[in-house]
Structure 1
C-alpha cells in the first residue's frame, strides 16, 4: 500500500470519529511509528490523549467538547465508555451544571492499570452488565436508563429532577421505563432520595429552567396545576402555550431562557403571544435562571399575583 493510499485510509477512519486517529489505528493502516512521530513533530497531528491524535482543525483552537470526550474514551481502550454527566452530555440530556470533567469507566483490573494523560478525565472502576453500554455517535456510553439512574444517585434534587425531565422530554426514557428505575437502584447509596426525584419527574418541562421554576413553586406551596398550558379562544384558535399555569386565577408563568428567547425573532414572537394572552384575560409572569437561585422569589411573586387576581 502506497503512502497516499495509507493517508487516505487514515483520513477515512478519522472522518468517522471527529477527525481523531489512534496510534494503533494509524499503525494498522500502514503508517510506521516514525511516520506518526514525524506528523506530530511538524504539527500536522496534535496529541489529545494518550496515543490519540487530532488530524485536522485550526491550529491553536481548543478541540470541540465531543472530540475531547471521544479522545478520552479511545485512549483507554475498547472497554472504556462514558458515564454519569459525560454520557448524559452525549445524549443531549440537560440539567447538570457545566463541568469540565470527562467521566469514563473501565471494568476491574483494566481501570487499575490504565494511565490517564488529561487531568480533566475522571476514571471510574465500574462493572456494567452486558447490553447496558451502547454507542452514541460512535462513542461508547452507558444507555440512557442506566445513565440517568446513576446520575440521580449522585446529584441533588434540582439537577436530578431536571435530568429526569430532560430525558423524558427528549423521549430517551418513557414513563414505563422510568417506573423500572427504583428496582435498578434498590439498596444503593442515595436510592431513597432518588425515588423521591423520580416521583417529581415530568417530561412536559422543556428546559431545566422550567423544571427549576416548577420546583420552586412546589416548595413554596403554590404548585402549578398545568404545564404547557394551551390557551384557546372561543373558536378554538390557539392563542399561546404557557410554561406553568394556574387555571382558576388565569395566571401563566414563563421561563425565559437565554437560548430559547434571546434571539430578536423569538423575543418578538414572545411579545405578540403575550399580548394575545393578556387580551384574553390572562396574567403573565416571567422568570429567569437568576430568579430560580432565590428560594422565595418565584413562589412569593406567584402568590402575590394570585392574591391580586382573586381580590378583583
Structure 2
C-alpha cells in the first residue's frame, strides 16, 4: 500500500520564527498544503483565498500604527470595486516614520491616519468609509469611484459629508476626481457596472438619466427600468449575469416588448459593451436621445 502523505502542521497564518518555535521545520513549511505569501510568511493553502487569513498573515509583520486601507478597507466595508484587476495584496497605510516596504503580499502606503479616520471592523483597524473613499480617488478610474460612491450613498452615508472630505483633503492626489464624481452620486444605482455606464453617459455630456424609473402605460405597470429619459421616452437597461437565467431572460423579453409597444426606445447593454465598446454605447444612447 502507498505511504499516506504527512498532513501539514501549519494550521494558521505564521512566520518562520514562530513556526520554528512551534517545532515546525523548514521542510514542513515547504509542504504542498502550505502557501508562502511572502519571503517569511505562510498560511494553509486552503485559506489562501480568504481575505481575512491573508490580512492576518500580513499583520504578523506590520509595524505599530499600521492601518488597513484602500482596496482592502473597501472589501472589509463590503464595497464592490469594478474595473480593477484581482489584486490579492493587502493594502496597509503606515505612518511616515515607519520603514516598511511593499512585498508580494502587501502594498504599503505612507501617510498619517488620525484616529478619527479609523474604525474597528471585526477587530481590525481600518480606515473609515470617508477616508477609504478619498484614498481610493487617485487609485480608481472615475467610473469605479462613482460605483463606490453610489454604494456608500445607498447605505445612507451622508451626501453632505463628501464635500467635507474633499475640503479637508485639499492638495491630495485624486481630489479633483473625487469632486467630479461626488456631484453625480446616486443611491438608486442598481449595480456597480450601472454606475460605470452612468459615468460614460456623464463624461459624454449627455443629459442625466432618471434611475429606477417606473414606467406605466394607460394606468398599467410596465416595469421599473435602470435608467430613463422620460421626456424623450428612451430607457437603458444594463444586463448583468443574472439576466442569463432563463426565467429572467424570458421576463426581460416580455417586458421589453411591452415597453416598445408603449412607444419607448429600449437600449440594453452588457459589461462586454460597457468595457469593450464604450464609444459605441455612448453613441447609441446619444442617437436615441437625438444628440447624434
Q: 1:127 to 1:281 in 2, by over 3 A?
A: same
Could you list the per-position Cα deviations for residues 274-294 of structure 1 after superposition, in whole angstroms to 9, with x for gaps in the alignment? Answer: 234334332211112233344
Q: 1:195 to 1:221 in 2, by over 3 A?
A: closer
Tell me the distance in 1 between the aligned counterparts of 2:201 and 2:181.
16
3-state DSSP of counterpart to 1:301: helix
Tell me if 1:147 matches 2:136.
no
Where do 1:21-170 residues align within 5 Å?
Answer: 21-22=13-14, 33-37=21-25, 40=29, 46-49=35-38, 53-55=42-44, 57=46, 62-77=48-63, 79-93=65-79, 94-100=81-87, 101-110=89-98, 112=99, 114=100, 118-169=103-154
Q: Unaligned 5+ residue runs, structure 2?
A: 1-9
Aligned to 2:242: 260
Q: 1:233 to 1:90 in 2, by over 3 A?
A: same
- How many residue pairs match? The answer is 279
Question: Which structure features the higher share of helix residues?
Answer: 1
TM-score of the aligned structures, taking structure 1 as reference length: 0.74
Q: 1:247 to 1:92 in 2, by over 3 A?
A: same
How far 1:141 sits from its partner (Å)?
1.9
Q: 1:137 to 1:51 in 2, by over 3 A?
A: farther
How far 1:23 sits from its partner (Å)?
5.7
Contact 1:82 1:104 in 2 (8 A): yes
Tell me the distance in 1 between the aligned counterparts of 2:287 and 2:209.
17
TM-score of the aligned structures, taking structure 2 as reference length: 0.78
3-state DSSP of counterpart to 1:179: helix
3-state DSSP of counterpart to 1:109: coil
Tell me if 1:181 matches 2:170.
no
Where do 1:194-213 residues align within 5 Å?
Answer: 194-213=178-197
Tell me the distance in 2 between the aligned counterparts of 1:44 and 1:155.
35
Contact 1:106 1:124 in 2 (8 A): yes
Contact 2:101 2:108 in 1 (8 A): no
Tell me the distance in 2 between the aligned counterparts of 1:46 and 1:95.
27
Q: 1:247 to 1:52 in 2, by over 3 A?
A: same
Q: Unaligned 5+ residue runs, structure 1?
A: 1-13
How far 1:183 sits from its partner (Å)?
1.9
Q: RMSD across aligned C-alpha pairs, in angstroms?
A: 3.4
Q: 1:135 to 1:43 in 2, by over 3 A?
A: farther
After TM superposition, the structure 1 stretch with the greater mean CA deviation from structure 2, 34-43 or 296-305, is: 34-43
Contact 2:33 2:44 in 1 (8 A): yes
Tell me the distance in 2 between the aligned counterparts of 1:271 and 1:20.
50
Which of the residues 291, 299, 302 maps onto 2:285? 302
How far 1:229 sits from its partner (Å)?
0.8
Tell me the distance in 2 between the aligned counterparts of 1:232 and 1:53.
59
Aligned to 1:7: none
Tell me if 1:250 matches 2:237.
no
